[in-house]
Amino acid sequence: MPTAQMDPIIEMLRSARRDVTPIRLRILLLAIASLTFIFCIFTINTVQQHITAVQSIGKDAAPSVIAAHQIEIGVQAMDADLTGELLHPQSSRQSQQFARDYEKWRVLVGKELIAAARNITYGETEAQSIESLQTNFGQFTAQAQSARDAHQANAEDLALVNYHAALKTLQQSLIPDAERLNKTNGDILETVFHQEESESSLSGGFVLVLGIALTALLVVCQIYLSKRFRRRFNIPLLIATATMVGFVQYLYPALQANTGHLKIAKDDSYDSIAALMNARADAYDANACQSRWLFDRQNAPSVEKSFSSALGKIATFGPENDYSKNYSKTVDKVEKQIKDGAKVNVPGFSGALADALANLRFTGESQAAFDMLKAFGAYQTADQSMKKFENSGDHKTAIEIGLGYDPDSTKYAFNKFDDALVRTLAINKEQFDQAIKNATNDVHGLILSCLLVGFLTIVCAYWGLRDRMAEYAG
C-alpha cells in the first residue's frame, strides 16, 4: 500500500494516542455513528426475525395446519354421513338428515380448501398438496354422488361398489394429502419456533449489550466534554443518551415479551390445538368407521380394526381386557387432579386426549377437556352396545343406536364429545389468537422507532460535537 495513503490514518492514530482534542472529538463522533449504525442494523435484523417468526407461526403455518385438519375432519364426516344416508331407506327422514349433513360438510371442506389455497407460503410442496386435495375432493364427491344415485335407484350393490371407490379416494388420496399439507406446515411451524426460541435470547442479549455499549459511549463522550471543555452538560448528547436509554429499556422487554407470547401461542395453545385437532380427526375417522361397520358388513373386521386404531389414538386407558375398570379409575384420578390444580398425569392413560388434559392452561379448559373424557367413555359404551345388537342379528336396533340421536346412541355421545372438544379448541384458539396479537403488538413499530432513534443519536452527536470541533478549526 502506498505510504502517502497510509499517512493520514497513521497520523490520526498517533494523534489519538497523543490526546489531540479535535482528533479525539472526531474519533468519538465516528465511534458513536458507527456503533449506532451497528446497533440499528442488528436491532432491525433481530426485530425482523421476531416479526417473521410471528408471521410464520401465527399467520402462515398455524391457519394452514388448522385448515388441513378441518379438511380431514370434513371428509371423514362426509364419509360418515354418506354411509348413514346409504344405511337408511331413500327419502326417509334420517336419510334426508344425513344428506343435509353431508352437504354442510361438503361446503365446509370447500371453504377450508380455499382458506388453505389463500395461504400458500411454503412453495411447491404445499401448493401440490392443495392441488391434489382439490382434484381428489372433486373425484370423491363425484364417486359419493354415484353411490347416492345408486341408492336412490335402489341399486344397493352398485351403491356399495361406488361407495368403495369413494372410500378408496378418501383413504388413499384425500386423507394423505390433508396429512401432507398438515405436516408441511406443522414441520415449518416447529422449525421456526425452535429456531426463534434458540436465537431470540442470544440476539436479544446482543441487542441489549450493544445498546448498553452505545449508551456508555455517549456517557464517556459527555464526561470527556465536561472535563475537557469545562461544560457540565452537552444538551444534544444528553438527549441522545436519554433517548437511547429509553429505547433500549423499551426494546429489550418488548423482544422478551414477544418471545413469551410466541411461547404461549406455541407451547400452551398451538400444541393443544394440534392435539385436539388430531383427536377430532381421529374421532371423525372412528365415527365414519362405526357407520361403515354397519354398512359394509363384508369388511367389518378390517373396519373394526380401523375403528380401534382411531380410538386408540384419541385415548387408551391401560390393558384392553380391563377397559371399563381402567376408564373409571382414569376418570376419577383426572377429576381429582383437576380439582387439586395438579398437572393431569395418570399412568396408562395416553393419546391425544391425555395430551390435551396434560396441557391445561386456560380458564374453562379443564372443564371442557374433562367433559370430553366423560363423553368419550359414553361413546365407547354406546358403541359396544351397538355392536352387541348387530352381532346378535338385531340390525335395526344396532342402526338406531349407531346412527340415532337418542341419549343411549353413539351419535348423542359423539356429539357431546365433539361439542366439548370444539369448546376446548375454541378456548385454545382464542388464546392462540390473543397471544399472536400480543406478539405482533410487542414488535409493532420497533423498526421505525429504531431508525428514528439511530438517526436522532447520530444527529445529536454531531450537533453536540460540532461546536466543540469548530473551536479548533482555525
Partner 1 sequence: MSTSVNCNKPGCYGSIEHGICPVCGQPAHAQFDTMENLSTRDEVLTSLRQLLTGQQARPTKEELKEAADRLSLVAPYNFQAWRLHADLLLNALNQLLTRQLEADTSFKILTIPLREEDLRNAAEAALRQCAHFADSSEKRIAIVDEANSVRRETWF
Residue 23 CB, shortest distance to partner 1, in Å, is: 9
**If binding is defined by CB under 8 A, does position 52 make contact with partner 1?**
no
Cα–Cα distance for residue pair 208/203, rounded to 1 Å: 9
**If binding is defined by CB under 8 A, does position 471 make contact with partner 1?**
yes
Q: How many residues bind partner 1, per CB under 8 A? A: 14
Judged by CB under 8 A, the stretch of 106-114, 222-230, 280-288, 402-410 that binds partner 1 is: 222-230
The binding track of 169-208 with respect to partner 1, each residue x by CB under 8 A or -, is: ----------------------------------------
Amino acid at 213: A
- Which residue is listed with cell 372443564? 367
130 to 117, 138, 168: CA distances (angstroms): 6, 12, 19
| 8 Å CB contact between 413 and 422 | no
* The C-alpha cell that represents 200 in the structure block: 431470540
Out of 231, 305, 336, 339, the residue judged to bind partner 1 by CB under 8 A? 231
**If binding is defined by CB under 8 A, does position 463 make contact with partner 1?**
no
Exposure of 303 by Cβ count < 10 A (0-12 exposed, 13-18 middle, 19+ buried)?
buried
**If binding is defined by CB under 8 A, does position 11 make contact with partner 1?**
no
**If binding is defined by CB under 8 A, does position 8 make contact with partner 1?**
no
**If binding is defined by CB under 8 A, does position 232 make contact with partner 1?**
yes
**If binding is defined by CB under 8 A, does position 228 make contact with partner 1?**
yes
- Which residue is listed with cell 443519536? 457
Out of 6, 107, 223, 235, the residue judged to bind partner 1 by CB under 8 A? 235
Nearest CB to partner 1, comparing residues 148 and 468: 468
**If binding is defined by CB under 8 A, does position 21 make contact with partner 1?**
yes
| 8 Å CB contact between 86 and 151 | yes
Out of 5, 8, 230, 301, the residue judged to bind partner 1 by CB under 8 A? 230
* The C-alpha cell that represents 293 in the structure block: 361397520
Give the torsion through C-alpha atoms of 175, 176, 181, 182, to 10 deg. 70
**If binding is defined by CB under 8 A, does position 252 make contact with partner 1?**
no
**If binding is defined by CB under 8 A, does position 93 make contact with partner 1?**
no
Cα–Cα distance for residue pair 330/445, rounded to 1 Å: 50
DSSP codes joined into one string, 372-403: HHHHHHHHHHHHHHHHHHHHTT-HHHHHHHHH
**If binding is defined by CB under 8 A, does position 405 make contact with partner 1?**
no
**If binding is defined by CB under 8 A, does position 222 make contact with partner 1?**
no
**If binding is defined by CB under 8 A, does position 17 make contact with partner 1?**
no
**If binding is defined by CB under 8 A, does position 472 make contact with partner 1?**
yes
Cα–Cα distance for residue pair 294/466, rounded to 1 Å: 89
Residues near partner 1 (CB under 8 A): 20-22, 228-235, 471-472, 474
